[in-house]
Structure 1
């Protein structure tokens, strides 16, 4: 099996920048691109207290698949990626899902880093930090573009 570029996607503008960078890496290396979207049930992770039936589970899984399709369609609407692209949606914590998806030493895992915002940033583990610590393959961590902060300030979302 040849090298794969595994990239975490979220559907956010920041995630699109990471996906574009992963696509460039795949082209330069002659590798396939595997876009991975980790999803969770409403209310938290796998250890959440809420119990959901199979209907809700199926709806959440279908929503994740649709979000991944929409993200890939948006990212490559203007131009084909020029590399084989596959998609994977997995229920679980993003860091753990990405590390498991990029389990071959030949893989390259591409993740975005970001600023720690919100009410309790320390309670949400950094996906990039988790991947850098646990991955068995090389990890390319893409820092935020300084223009992202300027745009967020202009939009009042900073």
Structure 2
């Protein structure tokens, strides 16, 4: 049994990664962390350089998430060339796999331009999919960013009301 999780290096990706590690511990499963990457531009000669960069980034993400002790379950890291949704669905093909994806805080124009990886996986995966929402703290930080972008005043007491 495997718990396959998409990683991205974002805060909501870290939330999903930790939830996937919890699921793997509970189920006695292996944890597979998958980082999808794309070639920037049209330079196939640099493909190996970009693949090496993706591998290094995945190691960095896993080190930041779990430290030297690791997640407490067998861990495999995989980088794959492609869009996150198709890559994750391709990796998590066994019926006893569990696919874990995080949801971002896409709003407005960004939601229309950037397709949802979670939605893609939910509609196409051959195994159960666990969609992990952003942590309450992340949602509060996003609200602060929006207020700052609009030049609205911020009341620091509002930040104390957030409970992770």
Return the TM-score normalized by structure 1.
0.86
> Cα 1:151–1:79, aligned 2, differ >3 Å: closer, same or farther?
farther
> Is 1:136 the counterpart of 2:126 in the alignment?
yes
**For the pair shown, which has the larger CA radius of gyration, 1 or 2?**
2
Cα RMSD of the aligned pairs, angstroms, is 1.8
The unaligned stretches of length 5 or more in structure 1 are: 43-49
Q: Which runs of 5+ in 2 are unaligned?
A: 151-164
Q: How many residues are aligned here?
A: 148
Match status 1:51 vs 2:57: no
Deviating more after overlay: 91-100 vs 70-79: 70-79
Following the alignment from structure 1 to structure 2, what is the Cα–Cα distance between the partners of residues 80 and 87?
12
Partner of 1:46: none
Deviation track 1:60-100 (CA, whole Å, cap 9, x = no partner) reads: 11111011000011111164311000000000010000000
Cα deviation code 1:98-147 (max 9, x no counterpart): 00010000100000012223744212210000000000000000011222
The correspondence for 2:75, drawn from 70, 80, 85, is: 85
Residue 11, structure 1, aligned to residue 9, structure 2: yes
Q: Is the 8 A contact 2:12 2:133 kept in 1?
A: no
Alignment of 1:18-97 (within 5 A): 18-42=16-40, 50-54=41-45, 56-77=46-67, 79-97=69-87
The corresponding residue for 2:161 is none
Are the aligned partners of 2:38 and 2:83 in contact in 1 as well (CA < 8 Å)? Answer: yes
Once residues 118 and 40 of structure 1 are traced to their aligned partners in structure 2, the CA distance between those partners, rounded to angstroms, is 24
Worse overlay, 76-85 or 32-41: 76-85
